[in-house]
Amino acid sequence: MTAEPERRRGRRPGGADTRAALLTAARAVFTESGYDGATVRAIARRAGVDPAMVNHWFGGKEALFAEAVLHLPFNPKALIAEILKGDREVLGERIIRTFLTNWDAQDGGVFAAMIRSVSAHEQVANALREFFVHQVFGQIVSAMHDDGSALLRANLVASQMIGLGMVRYVARFDPASTADVETLVAAIGPTIQRYLTGPIG
């Protein structure tokens, strides 16, 4: 792969200051109101910019939350679409591979920062919960189940992904912190696959 030579964003009304102001405002509003309670309108008002700037700079509320609060280095909506595109039989492996590759690229610092925020601030925990369960894993699972098990399945997937992040990046267990991605994909992929598509009761 070669690096993307140029990022095309079209015109940039408001400039980079607008983007920074939106990130700061988003952190405050998400913390005060939780993910579901925070509106794009309230965030834009706090930043003193037009609400259309949220879509312009971030593509939507999910991506703004992901960057402002979770410090995720990727757009979760795009990631989910990408994950759901491939073979459903190895979805579990693909999820592990995608998240580890993304987190590894930042040496796990982003994951560790997220956990510190969650542990220290009840409000961030609320926002994270809504985001992970309803937006990220919830979207993946509800694409596959309508028997009322979708939320529990999303919780189970989140539990294993968060626990993996904890031992790899925060507590830095050995060999979880040094194992190559494919070793963990082989070991944990079937767990995620069963939580998504297998029997859980």
Residues near its own copies, by CB under 8 A: 112, 115-116, 118-120, 125, 128-129, 132-133, 151-152, 155-156, 158-164, 166-168, 170-176, 179, 183, 186-188, 190-191, 194-195, 200-201
Provide the minimum distance between the beta carbon of 112 and its own copies in the complex, in angstroms, as a whole number. Answer: 7
For residue 22, the minimal CB distance to its own copies (Å) is 25
Q: How far is the CB of 118 from its own copies (least distance, A)?
A: 6
Closer CB to its own copies, residue 105 or residue 186? 186
Q: Which is nearer to its own copies, 59 or 175 (CB)?
A: 175
Nearer to its own copies, 105 or 187 (CB): 187
Q: Which is nearer to its own copies, 95 or 188 (CB)?
A: 188
Instruction: Say what the alpha-carbon torsion angle 163, 164, 168, 170 is, to the nearest 10 degrees.
Output: -20
Shortest Å distance, C-beta 29 to its own copies: 20
Side chain identity at 179, as an amino acid letter? Answer: A
- Percent helix, strand and coil across the chain, each to the nearest 5: 70, 0, 30
Using a CB cutoff of 8 Å and minimum separation of 24, what contacts does 26-33 make? Answer: 26/64, 26/65, 26/68, 26/69, 27/68, 27/69, 30/65, 30/68, 30/69, 30/123, 30/124, 30/127, 31/69, 31/121, 31/123, 31/124, 31/127, 32/123
| Shortest CB 179 distance to its own copies, Å | 7
Nearest residue (CB) to its own copies, 42 versus 136: 136
Closest CA to 108 of 54, 160, 65, 171: 171
